[in-house]
Each structure stands twice: as C-alpha cells, then as structure tokens.
Structure 1
Amino acid sequence: MLELDGLNGWYGASHVLHNVSFSVEQGEIVALVGRNGAGKTSIIRSIMGLMPRTTGTVRFDGKNIEAMKAHQRYAMGLAYVPEERRIVRGLTVLENLQLGLVADRKVIDEARAIEEIAQSFPRLQERLNQEGVTMSGGEQQMLAIARAMIARPKMILLDEPSEGIMPVLVEEMGALFRRLREQGTTLLLVEQNVEWALNLADRAVIVDQGEVVYRSDAATLLADKDIQERYCAV
C-alpha cells in the first residue's frame, strides 16, 4: 500500500530525514515510534506532500506520488489526521465532517456517508449541530479522525492520536482502529504512547534522528524493553 525508498527531507537548510525506507502492507497497522523530535511527524508530512523539500521515492497503491500535491494524494485515498487536529472554528461538527468530502472526487451520497460515520462515532452523532471547537479535546480528536474517514480512504496517517486524551476515549479509539483494520483500511500510526501503539499494531518502525534504526513485528518490540528504553523513552 505504501513504500518509502531513500526518502530525505529538509526544513530550509536543516536536513531532517535521512534515507528513510520502509513499507506498509494493505490492511495492516504499522506503528512509527521514537522520541520527540526523532522525525516521525516529518515522515508522515513527507508522505502527504507537506514537507518543503524532499527527495527519494514515495509509492502509494502502486503509483509514484512524490510529484503530487497533498489534495491529489487525498483524492487517491491517502488521508491525514495531524497532531493539532485542525477543527475549523465557527463550523459545526456536521460541517467539519462535510469538509472531508469536499476534496474527494468520488461520487458519494453525503447523507449516507454522514449516517455511516455517525454510527462509528456515537459521541459525535449526539453533537452534529454543536460547534466543533467547543467539544472536549478527546471528542475533537474523534472528529478529526471521522473527517479523515468519511471519504473511505484506503490508508490513514495518524499523528499522536492519543495525546491528551482521557483513557476511556483512548480505548474507544483503539477499538475503532482495530475495526478499520478488519474492514481493510491501512493505518500508519505515529504515537508516543508506545505500549498502546504496539498492542494495536502488526509491525513497528523506530525512527531516531531522522533515520530508521529498527524494524520488527510489534510483538517483538513490545517484549524488548531494552530497545524501547534506548530509542523510545522520554
């Protein structure tokens, strides 16, 4: 579903990603972990076409996409939930969800799409007419995920979805991600809550100082506390 080969990235003169290479298979969850500032967010911004300058190859669903704009990648089925959520002030929950359909060229019955997404997010269904930014942080995170899901993407990039969220919503989120995987949606999950992420994921990739330093199945990394301490401890 996704393959990175020799990906390099820059912010101005700062070379922040160094020959990053890994793949994500269709229908799996891959956890991208490492310390704060390791380069995880820069990797998914590069995948989405949001880094100022990159070199290397990014393939999605069998096609090279490194020359595409972010909205073109979204139209191909690649969705992104940024760490800061970006719920639009002044718009209701329903209107924020409708934004998830604006850039999508597929013909989708909007009413049916809203109904289906509301069934997956009962908390949002109760608040469709409420301004999105007035909800709790956890509910806003759910809205950001729902907005990414509504156009039925093939893959979702998630940046720190559990950050600042109360435990009950984190568990709901984990159950949602498992359902998405069962339905065939592919997930790349950037997460500081390493234990939670590894319990969800099929495979894990560790990034340190902009480089991939470790790859394994998630269960192996979960059991290896020494590697976690070396690369993931805060």
Structure 2
Amino acid sequence: MLETKELQAWYGASHILHGISIAVERGAIVALVGRNGAGKTTTIRSIMGLMPKTSGEIRFDGVDLTALRAHDRFNLGLAYVPEERRIVPGLTVRENLQLGLVASRAGIDERVAIDEIAESFPRLKERLGQEAVTMSGGEQQMLAIARAMIAKPKMILLDEPSEGIMPVLVEEMGVLFRRLRDQGVTLLLVEQNVEWALRLADRAVIIDQGEVVHESSADVLLADKAMQERYCAV
C-alpha cells in the first residue's frame, strides 16, 4: 500500500530524516516507534506532503506521490490525524465532521456519511450539536479520527493518538483501529505508548536519529525488552 525509499527531510538547515525506507502492507497496522525527536512525526508529515523540503521516493497504492501536494494525496485515499488534533473552535461536532468532506472528490452523501460515522463513535453521536472544543481531550481525539475516516480513506496516518487520553478511551480506540483494519483500512501509527501500540500492530518499525534501526513483527519487538529499552525508553 505504501512504500518509501531513501526518504530525506529537512526543517531549514536541519537534516532530520536520513534515508527512511519502509513498506506498509495493505490492510495492516504498522507501529512507528522510537524516542521523542527520533523523526517519527517528520516521517508521516513527509509522507503526507507537509514538509517544506524532502527527497527520495514515496509510492502509495501504486502512485508516485513525490510531486503531489497534500490535498492531492488526500484525494488518492491517504488521510492524516495530527498530534494536535486541530479541532476548529466555534464549530459543532457535526460541522467539524463536515470539514472532513470539504476537500473530498469522492461524491459522498454528507448526511449518510455523518450518520454512518456517528454509529462507529457512540460518544460523538450523542454530541453532534455540541461545540466540539467543549468536549474532553479524548473525545476530541475521537472526533479528529472520525473526521479523517468520514471520506473513506484507504490508509490513515496517526500521530500519537493515545497521548493525554484516559485509559478507557485508549482501549476503545484500539478496538476501533482493529475494526478498521478488518474492514481493509491500512494504518500507520506513530505512538509513544509503545506496549499498547505493539499489542495492536501487525508490524513494528523503530526510527532513531532519522534512520530505521529495526523492523520486525510487532510480537517480536513486544517480547524484546532490551530493544525497547535501547531505542524507545523515554
């Protein structure tokens, strides 16, 4: 579904990624883990076309993304949930969900799409008319994920979805991600909650100082506490 080859990225003069090559299988959950500052967020921002300067190759569902802008990548079925959520103040939950359809070219019926997404998120279904920023942090994270899902993407890039969320909502999120995988949606998950991510994922990739240093099944890395301590401990 997704492949990067020798992906390089810069913030100004700072060279952040040094040849990231990863592959994400269709219908899989892949966890991208490592310490803070390792380059995980930069990797998915580069894949989404949000970095000011990159080089290398990115292919998604057979299409070369290198010269495409972020909204073009979105229209190919690639969605992104940023760490900061970006819930729009002054808008209701329903209106924030509508934003997920604004740039879509898929011809999705808005009313049907919102009804369907609300069924997947019972907490949001109860709050469609509520101003979104008045909800809890965990509920806002659910809204950010729902907004990415509403246009029916083929793949979702998620940056730290469990951060600052109470455990019961984190577990609900895990159930949701498994259900999405079972429905054929591919997930690339950047996560500091390493144990939770590895229990959820099919495969794991460790990034350290802008380079891939380990790839394996998630189960193998989950059992390798020395590797986790070396590259993932805060």
TM-score range, shorter chain: over 0.9
Distance in 2 of aligned mates of 1:127 and 1:97 = 12
Q: How many residues align?
A: 234
Cα distance in 2 for partners of 1:66, 1:128 equals 37
Counterpart in 2 of 1:45?
A: 45
Q: SS in structure 2 opposite 1:6?
A: strand
Q: 1:185 matched to which residue of 2? A: 185
Query: Are 2:162 and 1:162 equivalent residues in the alignment?
Result: yes
Distance in 1, matches of 2:231 and 2:67, equals 32
Return the alpha-carbon distance in structure 2 between the equivalents of residues 220 and 123 of structure 1. 35
Aligned residue type for 1:47: I
* Counterpart residue identity of residue 149, structure 1: M
Q: Distance in 1 between matches of 2:232 and 2:216?
A: 14
Distance 1:50 1:24 in 2: 19
Q: Which sections of structure 2, spanning at least 5 residues, go unmatched?
A: none
* Deviation of 1:206 (Å): 0.1
Q: Which AA in structure 2 matches 1:125?
A: K
Q: Aligned residue for 2:198?
A: 198
Displaced runs of 4+ in structure 1, greater than 3 A? Answer: none
Instruction: Render the CA deviation track for 1:176-222: whole Å, top value 9, x for unaligned.
Output: 00000000000000000000000000000000001000000000000
Q: Is residue 86 from structure 1 mapped to residue 86 from structure 2 by the alignment? A: yes
The 5-angstrom pairing of residues 86-165 of structure 1 reads: 86-165=86-165
Shift of 1:129: 0.6
Secondary structure, counterpart of 1:233 in structure 2: coil
The C-alpha deviation readout for 1:33-68, integer Å capped at 9, x for no partner, is 000000000000000000010000000000100111
**CA root-mean-square deviation:** 0.4
Aligned mates of 1:19, 1:202 — CA distance in 2: 23
The residue number in structure 2 matching 1:17 is 17
Matched, 1:32 2:24: no
Aligned to 1:2: 2
Cα deviation code 1:79-132 (max 9, x no counterpart): 000000000011100000000001100111111100110000000000001111
- Structure 1 unaligned runs (5+)? none
Distance in 2 of aligned mates of 1:120 and 1:21 = 34
Q: Distance in 2 between matches of 1:48 and 1:209?
A: 20
Under a length normalisation based on structure 2, what TM-score does the superposition of the two structures give?
1.00
Per the alignment, in what secondary structure is the counterpart of residue 41 of structure 1? helix
In the alignment, the residues of structure 1 paired with residue 107 and residue 83 of structure 2 have an alpha-carbon distance, to the nearest angstrom, of 29
Letter in 2 for 1:38: A
Amino acid corresponding to residue 197 of structure 2 in structure 1: A
For 2:132 and 2:67, locate their aligned partners in 1 and report how far apart those are by CA, in whole Å: 33
Partner-residue secondary structure (3-state), 1:189: strand
Residue 210 in 1 paired to residue 197 in 2? no
